[in-house]
Each structure stands twice: as C-alpha cells, then as structure tokens.
Structure 1
C-alpha cells in the first residue's frame, strides 16, 4: 500500500502546474465560467470546513507536542493559500494541488504523530477528519479525472487506515471509523460526479457553439465567394467587354493605342479581383495625388495631359477607394474623349474645397457631342465605369453633352457616407 501511495503521490505532484504559463487555459466561454464557479464553491466550502478543523486542532489531544505544530503548519498554510487563490481566481490549480498532496502526506505521518499520544477518543473525530473531503475537492480543482477518482477513493481509505492504526486495533473503533470513511466516500463521490457533470455539459455547449460558428463561417465564405463571382462577372462586362468593343472599332493608331491600354487595364483589374472591392489601399491620400494619377494614366493612353489644379488650403484628404474611383472614372471620360472626339479641346480640371470639404474632377472636350439617351445597352463605358463607379463610393457624376462638346463632372464630398 505504501508503494502504491508513493506512485500516486509522485504522479499527482507531477501534474501540479508550477508556473503561470502552465495553468490550464480553458480558452472557451462556458468552460471558463464553470471552472470559476467550481473554484468559488471550493474556496467557500474549504473556508467553512477549514475553520472547523482549525478550531478542533487548537485543542487536539491526539498528536504529541513535537508533531502538533509542524502538522498544523503543513496542512493549514497550503489550505489558506488554496482558499485565497480560489476566491481571487488566480493560481488555483497550483495551490489546490499542493494542499491535496500535503494533506495526504500528513495522513501518512499521522500514526507516527500519535504513537506517543493517549489514544483516540471514541466520541470525537480528529481535526484531520474535517479536511478529508476538502482534499477531495482540491483534487477536483487541480488534477485530471483519473487522479480525481484516485483521491476520492484513496483519501478516505487512508484516513480509516491511520485511525485504526492509532486505535491500535481496538474493535470498538471499527464501526465508528467505517461510518466516517463511508460518509467521506459518499460525499466525495457526489462532489466528483457534480464536477465531472458540469464540466462535461460546459464542454458540450462550447463544442456546439464552435460547430455553429464553423457552420456560419462556411456559409459566410460561400456567400463571399458568390459575391466575388458576381463582382468578377461585372468586371468582365465593364472592363473586358469595353476593351473588346474598343479594339473592334479602332481604326486609327490613336484608337488602337487606346484599345491596348484598356485591355491592359482590364487584365490588371482581373488580376486584382481577389482583393477588396475597388482594389487598392483605403488609406486617405492628398487631393493633388488624383491629378498626378490622372496625368500618368492618360500618358499610358498616349495622351499628353496636364491637369489644371485648383485646390484650396484645407482641402480634405480623399479615402483611397474614393480616389481610385475618381481616377478610373476620369480616365474613362478621357478615353471616351479620345475615342469619340479625337481628344479635341481635351482638358481636365481638379477642384478642391475646404468648406464644404470635397473634390471634383471635370473632363471637357470640344467634339461633336452625343445623345446620352441614345447610348446602346451594351455600351458600359458611361453606365458602368462612370456612374456606377462613383455611386459605389458615395460620389456623384453628371454628363453634359451637346454639339459644342461634352463635360463630365465627377464629385465627392467628405460628408458623404460611402
């Protein structure tokens, strides 16, 4: 029995976490709260039983004087530490495990401590009896299930064994000790069962929650994939179809250069289709940067363009997606002017105001103009690349076309919600 007891003690001691990092991280909503409830109940119950045990220990006649104070220190110091940590909710497993091991060691030394004593009193239990189930509860807090079962069974049996050794085999104590052991076994089994049941329920609840979250994440991913498919389809109509139409109708070197640039832009946007809508960073940029990007993009179309900048001091910075939409819409207007008006009188003006804060881009040409209402449904250069693009970021677009030319106005105000 002694060798088995040592092996169990060694295993239990090895299970006690000795650092903050090694404490059990529940990591789940319900289990964490159940563990907190268990530690609070353990701390409160141990406080009551510990007070009874301490009161009984002060006048204990069982152990000799040389053993009395060391045994009390070995038991009550870790008990107080366990109660405090259970109530505050920190390092509970560490000190609960220390007390569970210390109490079993104290029981093992009880026959030596009482060898020179007057012998047990039939009508009075020793102070260690009040702590038998406290040690059981400590094992429930600190140890895994297998050691909890071992502590629930071994601690009362060990108590009964040392009490009979203290009584020196007198038969009058057998019934009393048997009743004490059976009471401790029944109460310990109830505590162990309740702890296991509540932890199992909490684990099942957390697993169900995790499954629900996983299912929702899968549904959200499927919905995102569908949105992406729709966005890519719209992108195909917007950019690729526009580039194909431009290539089909190109008859001059300038128009062919424009078609090549539109195709390059379409391929770039397709390559960026997996990024957020209206690809690019959303970091706000200075309004003057819009002019720089319009000039650079127009240069790729073979158009030497100088944007007229009229920016008031205090013009707000433009969110990245809005800036990208304004530049692309302006570039579409420039491409239309090149394709349909041969870039006659082409001019671009960027205006920025501080109050109310906002920016606007105007693209003008002096071509022959066109009838907006007569645009064919398959022509998406205006509907998709200008109107829809600006509307998507909370901006506004207006097209004024007559025999003297066409003006495309693109506006965004900093107070707009986009």
Structure 2
C-alpha cells in the first residue's frame, strides 16, 4: 500500500504544471516563484537607482580626495554583484547581505569622509541618498523579518544623522533632511510590507496545495485499498472454498494432509489481508519502534500500557513487514488478555539481542489461564492473528497458559527468511 500511496501522490502532483523551480521542491511551488519575482524586481530597481547614484558619485564634491575612490569602489562593486545575482537568480541572499552591510558601514564613515570639505547645499542630496532604499530592499532579500525591520528603520535614520553632521548642524538642513528621512522611511516600509505580504500569501497557498494533494492521495489510496480488499475477498473465497472441498473429499492420509495445507494457506492469506493505506513501507525499522507502536495502538484501544524494553545496542533492524506482523500479533495477545483475563498483571516486554540477531516479544497476564488444546477450530484469534501471521513472515509463536496466567511469546531472528 505504501507503493500505491506514493504513486497516487506522484499522480496528484503531476496534475500541477511543473517548471525547473518547482521540480526542485514540491512543497514550495508558490514561494519559489514569489522569491524569484522579488529578486527580479529588486535587481531591476537597484539597477536604475544604482545608475543614478553612480552618475552623482562620479562628480561628487562632498568627500575628500583620499576617501572618494575607496568609498565608490566599496559601495558599487557589491551593488553590481547584487544586481547581477538578482537578475541571474543565483547567490542573491549572499550578495544582497554584503551590500546591505557595506552600505551601512559607508554611512557610518561618511562624516569622516566629508570632514574639512566645502559646505554642502541644503537642496542637493549626496549620492549615498539614492542608495538608502536600495539597502532596504537588499535586506528584504537577504535577512529574516526582524533584521528587515531594523534595516528599514535604521538606514534612513543613520543617513539623517550623518547628513546633519556633514552640514555641521546647520539649521537650514533640518527640514530638507527630515523630508528625505521620512520619504525613505515611508518607501522602505511600503516595500517591506509588500515583501512580507506576498511571502505570507505564497506560504499559505503552498500549505493549502500540500493539504489538497495529501487529501487527494489519501482518498485515492483508500479507494485503491478497498479495491484490493475486494480482490483479496474474492481470492479468500476461492481459497476457503477449495480447502473445504478438499477436506470434504479427503479419503486418504495424503489427501487430508493436502486439505490441511490448503487451510493453513487460506489462514495465512487471511492474516495478511489486514492492510491499511498508511501502513508504511517495508524498510527496516529499529526494534524500539515495535514497543512504541504497541504502546500507541494499545492506548487507542483504551489500554494504558508501558512496554518493557531490553534491547542490545547492536540489535538488528526489523523489516517493516515483520515489524507490523509482530505488532499486530502482540496486540491480538493484548486483546485476548483484556477480554479473557480482565488485563490482570498485563505486561509486554520487547527483548532484542545482537547474537543471535533477533527480537522476542512476550505478552503476559496473571489471569486464570486456559487450555490451549481446547480452543475451538473456528476461533481465529490465536490461529489466524498470531500463529498464521508470524508464520507468514518467518517468525515463531508460542503460547504457554496455566492456572497462574498466560504467556504469549513471539520470536523473529534476522536469519529467518530475510
């Protein structure tokens, strides 16, 4: 059934149009596209603003001669790398983060770079002003939401502070700088909000899509399981009918032996017919998983049970089919103990050994016990759900019952049929 579920899930996902981006990660179809759109917009906008800033920087009279070239190179080389990364769609977060940090460092150095220079004009903005919001969108691409908010607020405020320091606290600069800072804050807030909103919408869409695909897969797997159960029922009908006819017509020891073999085969198929769409694969599981599954299943049945674990470190992993057979057989023994012994002294123990490699499950109760040989042939709780189930996966089962209680032992060794 695990193979059916995987094939159904693949079929469901195949109904969604695929691109190179979506094939890489089925769970982030919309998020991947939104991130690509954001990086393209950031790259294009940064290219325009960066060209304006570069044109203003080439003839800038604000910085001292020894500061001008290093600052221009330090800012525009990372900016060019960020723009190229955004347009290409590779390493965008890395280069956007580098530019955002370098620009803040440049702003911090701006008072020293312009010290001793001519007094600037209040209405003429320096070239760094054109890149304030570029640093903001760079943080949106590179950083988590907390740092995005910090960059959106801190970068314009830092620009206002260094601009006033450059103007030597001239009162004529207060209003123009305040307008520049407020404009940068408003624009940065809008860009930050849009980025957060589109990413949230994309995440919700991906979550809804994943839930829809999983629901479709579950429904289709359930339908496939029911179809298989119908086929199993038809097969069981033929198997049981054939065994009954063979038993009725048996007149020699050889014919009786054949009838018994046919009946055992029918019981084995009946034991293996209890499949579920979500039963899991046949991949090996650790022995401790058996104890966990027994506890969980018992709790669902209303039996508070704590499984005793005695597992060697090198206990071999148990194949998935064997593990399910052991768990189901143990649960049948638990159900029998609850029904017939009122769960008196009920304990379950899982023992794992490295040599010989294998596991042993023991289900004990301190009830009044019963005569194993007197169990009616038509009672399948022991024959079908315990003996036949373990025999089908190469395991062994034994039931020891007396007046002091009952012990059901389920064994599997790594060399048995696997």
Matching of residue 219 in structure 1 with residue 203 in structure 2: no
**Aligned equivalents of 1:27 and 1:146: distance in 2?**
24
Larger mean CA deviation between 227-236 and 131-140 belongs to 227-236
What pairs up with 1:139-218 in 2 under 5 angstroms? 139-218=139-218
How far off its partner does 1:82 sit?
0.4
Gaps of 5+ in 2: 1-24, 277-418
Matching of residue 69 in structure 1 with residue 66 in structure 2: no
Q: Secondary structure at the match of 2:38?
A: helix
**Aligned equivalents of 2:248 and 2:88: distance in 1?**
77
Q: TM-score, normalization: structure 2?
A: 0.57
Contact 1:81 1:95 (8 Å CA) reproduced: yes
Contact 2:236 2:269 (8 Å CA) reproduced: no
Match of 1:90 in 2: 90
Match of 1:109 in 2: 109
Match of 2:229 in 1: 229
**Aligned equivalents of 2:266 and 2:133: distance in 1?**
75
**Aligned equivalents of 1:244 and 1:254: distance in 2?**
16
Q: Secondary structure at the match of 1:191?
A: helix
Contact 2:246 2:259 (8 Å CA) reproduced: yes
Match of 1:285 in 2: none
How far off its partner does 1:236 sit?
1.6
* Number of positions where the alignment pairs a residue of Structure 1 with one of Structure 2: 252
How far off its partner does 1:275 sit?
8.8
Residues 6-62 of structure 1 show CA distances to partners (whole Å, capped at 9, x for unaligned) of xxxxxxxxxxxxxxxxxxx89510000000000000000000100110110001000
How far off its partner does 1:117 sit?
1.1
Contact 1:71 1:106 (8 Å CA) reproduced: yes
Match of 2:58 in 1: 58
**Aligned equivalents of 1:163 and 1:113: distance in 2?**
12
Match of 2:266 in 1: 266
What pairs up with 1:297-308 in 2 under 5 angstroms? none
Match of 1:134 in 2: 134
Residues 264-312 of structure 1 show CA distances to partners (whole Å, capped at 9, x for unaligned) of 4434544654799xxxxxxxxxxxxxxxxxxxxxxxxxxxxxxxxxxxx
Q: TM-score, normalization: structure 1?
A: 0.57
**Aligned equivalents of 1:83 and 1:151: distance in 2?**
19
Match of 1:35 in 2: 35
Structure number with greater Rg is: 1
Contact 1:96 1:138 (8 Å CA) reproduced: yes
Residues 112-151 of structure 1 show CA distances to partners (whole Å, capped at 9, x for unaligned) of 1001211222231100000000000000001111111111
How far off its partner does 1:87 sit?
0.5
**Aligned equivalents of 2:125 and 2:35: distance in 1?**
32
Q: Secondary structure at the match of 2:181?
A: helix
How far off its partner does 1:74 sit?
1.2
**Aligned equivalents of 1:61 and 1:209: distance in 2?**
56
Residues 316-345 of structure 1 show CA distances to partners (whole Å, capped at 9, x for unaligned) of xxxxxxxxxxxxxxxxxxxxxxxxxxxxxx
What pairs up with 1:317-356 in 2 under 5 angstroms? none
Q: Secondary structure at the match of 1:117?
A: coil
Match of 2:359 in 1: none
Report the CA distance shift for 1:26/1:159 in structure 2 as closer, same or farther (over 3 A): farther
Match of 1:118 in 2: 118
Report the CA distance shift for 1:27/1:121 in structure 2 as closer, same or farther (over 3 A): farther
RMSD (Å), alpha carbons: 2.0
Gaps of 5+ in 1: 1-24, 277-418
Contact 1:243 1:262 (8 Å CA) reproduced: yes
Higher relative contact order (CA 8 A, sep 6+): 2
Contact 1:100 1:135 (8 Å CA) reproduced: yes
How far off its partner does 1:171 sit?
0.6
